[in-house]
Amino acid sequence: MAAQLRQLRQQIKTVKSTAKITRAQEMIATSRIVKAQQAVAASKPYSDQITQALTALVSHHVGIDHPLLHEQPADNRSAVLIITSDRGFCGAYNANVIREAEALIRSLREQGREPVPYVIGNKGITWYRFRNRAIAEAWHGFSDRPDFPNAERIGRRLTEDFLKTDAEGGVGEIHVVYTEFVSMLTQTVRVRRLLPLELHDGHTETVPPAYEFEPSAQAALDLLLPNYVESRIFHMLLQSAASFQASVRRAMKSATDNANELLGVYTRQMNQARQAAITQEISEIVGGADALADSGGE
């Protein structure tokens, strides 16, 4: 009985320590979500405006052209950019992204295309390498706090590969799998085709304004298109970072609640064991007293 009490006390101590850690992680994630939401909100106007400018440019200047605007049917390879996290303790966040990416990869193979993974985040990199799956390029170390230089680096690599042929190791189209932050309770995995460009995202039904571009519409297109790709990747990284923090908060809150529930179970078990030990001691004392009384009477 004493051994059982010691074991229960140790378990209660362990659960209390775990609950403190998960509670602290929950509070940290809560504070970071606010900054992540602000970063998403700050990047959205630029992303929308550059999309609007490119849509207007392409709509009103029929004669201009750029390789990023065209399908490449001769290229059979399809890049799949998968945005995961560098750290864990985020519930099913990474599992959902990888599951959606694998569904996209199967779909591309059914279409007769060869998918080529590009992975962001240690969790995704580890998942693919553990299964001996080839990765064209991997980036890590910034998934929870993305910055534009990293988005620019990723965008340039993808754009360069898109402009290459299959024989040169290029790809004919680029898809991105990321997590969109909808609210604190809802984060949805999205699949978007990044290249060839799809400028009409359904955000507006009005006729785009007729801008005047200097020095020329073609020169503006050559400058805007790479920036457009990089800004979209940056916005997706920010969306994924906010979703990651929300997933961490939800997972840590669930872990804290489970720890508190388990603490209650262990406390009840300890009280029951302690009460049983006290009852047993009383019974032994009473039994000993009765035995002494009987022996004295004789």
Domain-located, residue 171: yes
Domain-located, residue 217: yes
pLDDT value of residue 201: 46
Domain-located, residue 179: yes
Please state whether the peptide bond connecting residue 196 to the residue before it is cis, i.e. omega within 30 degrees of 0: yes
Q: How distant, in Å, are the alpha carbons of 276, 277, 278, 280, 282 from that of 290?
A: 21, 20, 18, 15, 12
pLDDT value of residue 210: 67
Domain-located, residue 273: no
pLDDT value of residue 20: 92
Q: Whole-model pTM?
A: 0.82
**What is the separation of C-alpha 23 from the centre of its chain, rounded to a whole number of angstroms?**
20
The CATH number linked to 50 is 3.40.1380.10
Following CA atoms 261, 266, 272, 278 in sequence, which dihedral angle do they give, to the nearest 10 degrees? -140
pLDDT value of residue 286: 79
pLDDT value of residue 202: 44
Domain-located, residue 4: no
Domain-located, residue 7: no
The residue range of the domain holding 176 is 27-251
The string of pLDDT tens digits covering residues 228-269 is: 889 999 999 999 999 999 999 999 999 999 999 999 998 888
Strands 173-181 and 114-120 come out as: unpaired
Domain-located, residue 271: no
pLDDT value of residue 203: 47
What total number of domains does the chain contain?
A: 1
Domain-located, residue 259: no
| Intervals of the chain under pLDDT 70 | 1, 60-65, 71-73, 198-211, 296-298
Count of beta carbons in the 10 Å neighbourhood of residue 278:
11
